[in-house]
Homo-oligomer: A and B are copies of this chain.
Amino acid sequence: MAYRYTPAIARLISAFAKLPGIGQKSAQRLAFHILDEKKEDALALADAIREACSSIHLCSVCCNFTEDDPCDICTSSARDNTRICIVENPRDVAAMERIHDYRGLYHVLHGVISPMHNVGPEDVKLKELFIRLREHDEVEEIILATNSTIEGEATALYIARLLKPSGIRTTRIAHGIPMGAALEYADDVTLSRAFQNRQEI
């Protein structure tokens, strides 16, 4: 007979193991940590999960996570509402905001088109984007900032093609050698892209 954890511990371990990047061993470690250490921290985590699940939803304009609808960025008078940056997920909004260069708005797709994984255009927040563009004719530029994966590239091209008739300027973020990286360690695709997109200095 295999050793069985008590039901409450077993449930805790399997709940942790469902999180991404957390295997059975890590889940055990986390579960025992919670029982061993300060219970307040554990209960604070339980509360934070409950609170986030009930209070966070998608902004009806940009589809980013928000507590208020529309979200802070969509309602801010300090933002440039002639530009919309299209990203795959809310983490990308956080990354873009960290660079402080961009003061426009966002649109979060919550995924990329991927026929391989049965994800079609209707499975990402594309319809919401076009409804938004129809209602807001002040938009002058769409910046496609999906990831430089095959799916991200394909999704960017797909959106660019759909936007063509509208006459809105459509741009794609630049790909090339990351700052501080050595040329010799760059992968071929990145290097090739960096060479093609070389610019006058």
Contacts and interface: CB of A to CB of B under 8 A. Distances in A.
Interface of A: 2-3, 5-9, 11-12, 14-16, 18-21, 26, 28-36, 39, 41-53, 55-56, 65-67, 71-72, 89-91, 93-94, 97-98, 110
A36 to B, nearest CB: 7
A71 B14 CA distance: 21
Tallying the copies of this chain within the complex gives 2
Contacts of A44: 11, 15, 18
10 contacts: A5-B94, A6-B66, A6-B71, A8-B52, A8-B67, A12-B49, A12-B51, A14-B48, A31-B52, A45-B49
A49 B46 contact: yes
Given A32-B65, A35-B65, 10 more contacts: A6-B56, A8-B51, A9-B56, A11-B51, A16-B48, A19-B33, A21-B26, A34-B52, A36-B110, A42-B49
A39 to B, nearest CB: 5
B49 A53 contact: no
Contacts of A89: 32, 36
B21 A56 contact: no
A35 B9 contact: no
B29 A52 contact: no
Nearest to A57: B35
B67 A6 contact: yes
Nearest to A5: B94
Given A5-B94, A12-B48, A66-B6, A43 B34 contact: no
A11 to B, nearest CB: 5
